[in-house]
Chains A and B, each alone.
Chain A
Amino acid sequence: MSSENGKRLLETDAGGLNFEATELTLGLPGEPRVTSDGGAKLGSKRGFSETVDLKLGDNNQEVKLGHSLQEAAKSPVSKTQVVGWPPVRGFARRGKKSCKYVKVAVDGAPYLRKVDLEIYNSYQQLLTSLEDMFSCFTIRNYLNEKKIDQVNGIEYMPTYEDKDGDWMLVGDVPWQMFVESCKRLRLMKSSEAVGLGLKTAPKYSSTN
């Protein structure tokens, strides 16, 4: 379980708010940066009068940061995001027409493919499409276990790498959350998946 610090960064929305340490600092260029020692100090409350006297740009600069931003400042720039900011509904996806191409690797195949997750609306569609793409394999239709012949059909388990770098089983989270956090897909040979003890079906199956 990651530390409380890491907890603040659980955002896995598309894109990242690239807070470089420089952008958060109100001091002059060349000022000493916020150090992790200073972190605790920064969290302390300051009285109103201190704020009034705050001369932004002075040498006695104190940087006031909310929790999330303090944590963001400590982390490597590329992974820095603040949960829930800006306050825009994730649903909106109002931005430039997004396409979310991810690599698909299949154990044993000589080359990878790429799929655009945005064109699908459900796990069912994605898996069907992958089956078409790798037509010589049968992908375990994990989402609809009733259809699968336990003896013959199962060959591969669909897994994916999420934004935190963890390998996850496809199907546990709502579709949209999956699209936003998936970095790449891997169809893992079921024989390698033995021992993972996957007895329960993922939450978001087509039968739900």
Chain B
Amino acid sequence: MNYFPDEVLEHVFDFITSHKDRNSVSLVCKSWYKIERYSRQRVFIGNCYSISPERLIARFPGLKSLTLKGKPHFADFNLVPHDWGGFVYPWIEALAKSRIGLEELRLKRMVVSDESLELLSKSFVNFKSLVLVSCEGFTTDGLAAIAANCRFLRELDLQENEVDDHRGHWLSCFPESCTSLISLNFACLRGEVNLGALERLVSRSPNLKSLRLNRAVPLDTLQKLLMRAPQLVDLGIGSYVHDPFSEAYNKLKIAIQRCKSIRSLSGFLEVALHCMSAIYPICGNLTFLNLSYAPGLHGNKLMKLIQHCRKLQRLWILDCIGDKGLGVVALTCKELQELRVFPSDPFEAGNAAVTEEGLVLVSAGCPKLNSLLYFCQQMTNAALITVAKNCPNFIRFRLCILDPIKPDPVTNQPLDEGFGAIVQSCKGLKRLSLSGLLTDQVFLYIGMYAEQLEMLSIAFAADSDKGMLYVLNGCKKLRKLEIRDCPFGDAALLEDVGKYETMRSLWMSSCEVTLGGCKSVAEKMPSLNVEIIDESEQMEFNLDDKQKVDKMYLYRTLVGHRKDAPEYVWIL
């Protein structure tokens, strides 16, 4: 390969798009490193504190698309204080100062201020795509800036963000000259939107393929939008409440029938059960159906809807579908790959409507199933063993029994054998979340069999340090490990500190690790940031090494201690 001019290599590298592969390419030799870095356009940074914006810019001057993740995953469940970190402003500031022609920014679990959005909107002439997932810190004013200033905006995708909705006219801020929109998702906004502005925007966006509305968009507006955008591929319905005998409903039926390209349907944030038949004409082509925000949709009407969806590959649903409903899914959706069943009543244990039976039915009826998120009332070893046999292709298996230490209700045994069967059968398993009564044994199985495992979430499990040791020793590809309320202490933590450098991060909360143990890790491994999060002020007054640490988050980094940590975070 030394005989090829650089341009040829560059052309070859163009075909290599996966981040992992490009990273590997850059390690071959200096010349490849150089060519790769100048030609790299897309960069993924899984932990925003592992590298600095300056170094990113220095290495990849041709950067066009940046993906950044901030807070640890457990922040989703209120285990991380609000202002822990993950601020995007310094990144945008640094990129703005440089000559980077940023076109796409994708953020997850980051704090995004209106100032950052405004700076972003004014600094990059060719900016095209903003995707914010589980972020917070901004208001609709920031969105207004994006709408007003990004002249070539193609994508504005807001997923599950905490947005302070000022009920402003951000939608009206898209200028008349903006006709480039391909994707617009504002389903997570709670406030009113200017419906007229929305209609006009959709009218002048001939390339619009994805439109997800919020609850404030009523049915008659939906009908008008669909008439103007029959080319939609992905639709998120806001409010779906109306009188089935009304003119609006008839018009809607006609409009929906014109939308022959819709493959993905979500929303129904407000729904009237008796009007679902209007949707049937598009059900036959759906590959993704997300009804997890529609508690009003249940029972027979829900069943009928699902029975029309024969090509479904991904289904997100609430547990009010029940085991019987999952049986209907099993009979109908033979192409199903991904199933997510969310709890409709998460804080009332005992009310979950699905059990191991529903899961077994789906596993039997849907052999292509490879991704699962399942909140349920109970689980048995026998069911898990059956599921493992039926579906050996799981890549993601996340099980959440609402009562966190519940044993197999039939045998009263821990669920070690059941999960053991899963990891043994599913040789490609990359992500696993455990729940139920579990001993060290399940971790022995995981260490032995889960060779491809990259992410593991553990809660209220195990009996001793051995559990954690089995995992750390056995899972060679482990990248993220998050643990809460397990009896793992310093012995496990300190056994192999070098391992943490091969991982992105480790989270341990309400375990048995002590301050002294954490200090020891920090001392031995300068390439790690070891953070102690303690809001109780104990750290101020009681620096005893034997003290147990409430929350510890450690991650590898190339840039040392971060400077933006709040006062209750100690970086050792």
Contacts and interface: CB of A to CB of B under 8 A. Distances in A.
Contacts of B550: 7
Given A51-B439, A51-B441, A87-B400, A96 B346 contact: no
Contact of A66 (B407, B510, B538): B510
Interface in A159-208: 174-176, 206
B342 A92 contact: yes
Contacts of B40: none
Interface stretch (A41-49, A99-107, A136-144, A150-158): A41-49
A71 to B, nearest CB: 10
Contacts of A146: none
B319 to A, nearest CB: 10
B78 A66 contact: no
B247 interface: no
Given A1-B537, A46-B463, A94-B344, A23 B403 contact: yes
Contacts of B70: none
- Majority DSSP secondary structure for residues of A touching B: loop
Interface string A28-58: 0000000000000001011110111010110
A7 B344 contact: no
Contacts of A18: 348-349
When A and B form their complex, which 8 residue pairs have the shortest distance between CB atoms, in order from nearest? A66-B485, A15-B347, A84-B77, A66-B460, A67-B510, A51-B439, A45-B464, A84-B79
Interface residues of A, number: 54
B487 interface: yes
B162 A56 contact: no
Greatest chain B CB density within 10 A among A7, A66, A92 is at A66
Nearest to B457: A87
A31 to B, nearest CB: 14
A89 B160 contact: yes
B191 A121 contact: yes
Contact of A87 (B77, B412, B466, B512): B77
Contacts of A54: 439
Nearest to B470: A48
Contacts of B78: 11, 13, 83-84, 90
A51 B440 contact: yes
B164 interface: yes
Interface of A: 1, 4, 7-8, 11, 13-19, 23-24, 26, 43, 45-48, 50-52, 54, 56-57, 64-69, 81-92, 94-97, 121-122, 174-176, 206
B76 interface: yes
Nearest to A82: B404
Given A84-B484, A87-B77, A56 B407 contact: yes
Given A68-B485, A176-B162, A89 B76 contact: yes
B79 A83 contact: yes
A142 B486 CA distance: 44
Interface stretch (B58-66, B277-285, B290-298, B495-503): B290-298
A4 B82 contact: no
Given A50-B463, A122-B166, A45 B347 contact: no
A16 B536 CA distance: 23
A175 B440 contact: no
B190 interface: yes
Contact of B160 (A17, A65, A91): A91
Contacts of A96: 295, 344-345
16 contacts: A4-B536, A7-B550, A13-B78, A43-B487, A56-B412, A56-B413, A64-B463, A68-B460, A69-B405, A83-B79, A84-B78, A88-B375, A91-B188, A92-B292, A121-B164, A121-B191
A66 B76 CA distance: 20
Contact of B165 (A14, A52, A121): A121
A99 B407 CA distance: 34
Given A23-B403, A88-B375, A122-B166, A45 B160 contact: no
B460 A26 contact: no
A50 B465 CA distance: 14
B459 interface: yes
Nearest to B160: A91
Contact of B167 (A48, A51, A66, A121): A121
